[in-house]
Amino acid sequence: LSESLDALSVELDLETGIAGELQQHVHHVLHHELFLLNGVLNIGDSIPWLDWMDLQGYIKRMKKLSKMFDRFLEHVVDEHSERRGHEGESFVVKDMVDVLLQFASDPGLEVKLNREGVKAFTQDLIAGGTESSAVTVEWALSELLKKPEVLAKATEELDRVVGRGRWVTEKDMPSLPYVDAIVKETMRLHPVAPMLVPRLSREDTSINGYDIPAGTRVLVMVWSIGRDPELWEAPEEFMPERFLGSRLDVKGQDYELLPFGSGRRMCPGYSLGLKVIQVSLANLLHGFTWRLPDGVELSMEEIFGLSTPRKFPLEAVMEPKLPAHLYVEA
C-alpha cells in the first residue's frame, strides 16, 4: 500500500494535477531518496572543516537529486503553461500548479511570483506533504486492522453520516468525530517525525532542573510525549475514544499532542496535511472493506529517522463496497 498512499497524498496535496506524472517518480525519488537524504547524519554538519570532502557521498547525491527534481518540475510547469495557452479564454483552473501560474501572471500582485517561485512552492507541497500524509494513513490502517471493533465503529459512523451513495468530502469531517479521533490517536502513537525541528534557546533558562544556556539547540521528542504514562492512560493502547469529548487538538496549543509542532516553527502546512489525512483515511474506510491476507501476521515495527514509517510495508486485502459507478467516476 505504501506506493499507492504516496501517490494519493500527492494528488490530494495538489488537488489533482501531477499525480499521474508522479506514479513512476514519487516512490523512488521522494520516498527513498529525498527523505533519506533529509534524515541522514552528515559528518560535515557536525565537523564543518570536513564538509568539502563529502566523506559519505551525501552532498553528491543531494546535488544529483536537486537536478532530477528540477527537470521534473520544469516538465510540470511547461505542461500546465501549454494547457493554459492552448485553452485561452476557456481555461479553467484545475489544480494548485494552475493557481500558482495564475498568480505569476498577475501584474497587480505586490509580491511578484516568478517561474522559480512556482517550482519552489510545488516542490514544497510535494516534499512536505507526501510522506507525512501517507505514513500517517498507513499507520492508521495498521492499527485498525489490529482492532476490528474500532474499524467497525468507524465504518458505522461513515455509513450513518455519509451513506452508501457517495464519497466522503471535506465538508463531512465535522460530522465524523470518531474518524477524527482515530486520526488524533494515530498521530499520538505514530507521529510522522519523532522529533520536532530544532529550536534554539534565546536566553539562559531552566526547565525541570536542567540548565539550558542561551544558544543551545533544543530537540523536542514528541514520540516520547505521546507515550508518556504521566500524560496518557494506557499510552501503548490504541484507543480513539480518549479523544471523544476532549478538547485536545493537534493545532499546537496542547503540549501533550504536538504532531505538527507549535509556535513560529510549527509546520506551515499542517492545515492542508490534516485535511489530506482525514479525507484519505475516511474514504479508504468508507469505500472498502479491509482485512489481513490469510496467514499474515501484522508487524508493527517502525523505522526511526527523519520520519517513522512502518519497517515493512502494509499488506492488506481491500474489497469495494459502494455502488460500482462511484469507482468509475472517481
Instruction: State the pLDDT at residue 80.
Output: 87
Distances (CA, A) of 216 to 43, 45, 203: 20, 16, 9
Q: Pairing between strand 288-291 and 317-320?
A: antiparallel
Produce one character per residue of 134-150: b if its CB has 16 or more CB atoms within 10 Å, e if not: bbbbbbbbbbbbeeeeb
Sign of CA dihedral 233, 235, 241, 245: positive
Torsion of CA 251, 280, 127, 111, to 10 degrees: -60
Instruction: State the pLDDT at residue 178.
Output: 98
**What distance in Å separates the CA atoms of residue 288 and residue 291, rounded to the nearest whole number?**
10
**What distance in Å separates the CA atoms of residue 197 and residue 220, rounded to the nearest whole number?**
8
Instruction: State the pLDDT at residue 16.
Output: 43
Written as nine digits, the cell of 190 is: 505514530
Sign of CA dihedral 206, 212, 215, 217: negative
**What distance in Å separates the CA atoms of residue 3 and residue 19, rounded to the nearest whole number?**
12
* Domains in the chain, number: 1
**What distance in Å separates the CA atoms of residue 83 and residue 93, rounded to the nearest whole number?**
10
Which domain, by its residues, includes 71?
A: 2-329
Task: Give me the CATH number covering residue 103.
Answer: 1.10.630.10
Positions in the chain whose pLDDT score sits under 70: 1-32, 39, 127-131, 305, 329-330
**What distance in Å separates the CA atoms of residue 182 and residue 262, rounded to the nearest whole number?**
21
Written as nine digits, the cell of 12 is: 490530494
List the beta bridge partners of residue 29: none
Instruction: State the pLDDT at residue 93.
Output: 81
Half-sphere exposure of 244 (CA within 13 A, CB side): 11
208: nearest Cα among 230, 191, 226: 230
Q: Where are the beta strands (DSSP E) in 54-202?
A: 199-200
The reported pTM is: 0.79
**What distance in Å separates the CA atoms of residue 142 and residue 18, rounded to the nearest whole number?**
28
14: nearest Cα among 91, 75, 100, 134: 100
DSSP state of 102: H
List the beta bridge partners of residue 318: 290
End-to-end CA distance of the chain: 18
Instruction: State the pLDDT at residue 168.
Output: 97
Following DSSP, what letter does each residue of 278-319 receive, concatenated?
A: HHHHHHHHHHEEEEPPTTPPPP--B--SSS--BSS----EEE
